[in-house]
Amino acid sequence: MFQQVQVFTVSADEEGQRLDNYLVTRLKGVPKSALYKVIRKGEVRVNKGRAKPERRLQVGDQVRVPPLRLAESPVVPVPGHSLVQHLQSAILHDDNGLLIVNKPAGLAVHGGSGVNLGLIEALRQMPGQVGFLELVHRLDRETSGCVMIARKRSVLKMFQEALRQREGIRKTYTALAQGAWPKGVSLVDVPLKRFVQNNGERIVRVNQEGKDSTTHFAVMERFRDATLVEASPITGRTHQIRVHAQHHGCPLVGDDKYGDTPLNQALRQQGSRRLFLHAARLDISVTDWEPLTVQATLPDDLQQFLLNLPKSRE
């Protein structure tokens, strides 16, 4: 099945996007390989001229797309009634084009890599949901807590730029580290690099050839075998808090990737069922935006686990 020639006019909300990303969003169902092929061949025209994939679009630009073959429409998974109810009750903020949701642990933020249904796909199919909806940032599947979603492209651009510039958005996590967090360690500043193992699994290590990575840690409470900490990442690297905690000899409780230790196995016998990492608070002070603080209460399962932990003898 082929589409006809199409001409799009770039709106204010779409300004600044790369041509290739714009077309991927606009032309759902068209394989990316086909899009890049027609761009390279010069068959996609912007204001009647050839354009490269990385060209940044401006308001009012006319984008002409030749006929393209549509891929077979994939079956879109539908969120179950219980998930819909949970997400409806998990909305922490919804105003001015910004949606903040308290994501449950175990739900990926988006589909892919063997995951059919993620948070963003479920939200797009919620009753009454229409229009633009995109993730501002990500959380690991095992991590619960605050996730920002943009209802407007202008909001998406604003907040992603703030995250890139490390200004105006402070994320605060609650984490339980194995053992006794070292006294005097409040700032971890070591570079991180991603590696892909032979089985395709990605893993992050401290590596001098990696990207700069900084996390502030503060002790909240000490237990006999673990330490409750507050972690505020300044940078946003993959698995950053988890690897920084591991680097100081205190991997997170429930972390089977970076903290599979005898202590972690013993804590599992005491009721640890998942990664103890929760995105607890967002403090937003982006320019031209009303200051906003949003908090997500520590989930019941994590609270219950803390109640059963032996206290520190200190």
The Cα 76–Cα 200 span in angstroms is 26
Nearest Cα neighbor of 14 from 165, 130, 134 is 134
- For residues 144 and 299, is the Cβ–Cβ distance under 8 A? yes
**Roughly what angle, to the nearest 10 degrees, separates helices 32-40 and 19-26?**
140
Respond yes or no: is residue 20 known to be catalytic.
no
- For residues 232 and 170, is the Cβ–Cβ distance under 8 A? yes
User: Per the residue annotation, which of 140, 255, 288, 301 is the catalytic one?
Assistant: 140
How many CB atoms lie under 10 A from the CB of residue 187?
A: 10
Contact residues for 187 (Cβ-Cβ < 8 A; gap 6+): 214, 215, 216, 217
Structure tokens at 150: 């943009």
Residues paired with 98 in a beta bridge: 95, 150
Q: Residue 216 to residues 25, 69, 146, 164, 298: CA-CA distances in angstroms?
A: 36, 50, 18, 18, 20
Q: Which residues are annotated as catalytic? A: 140
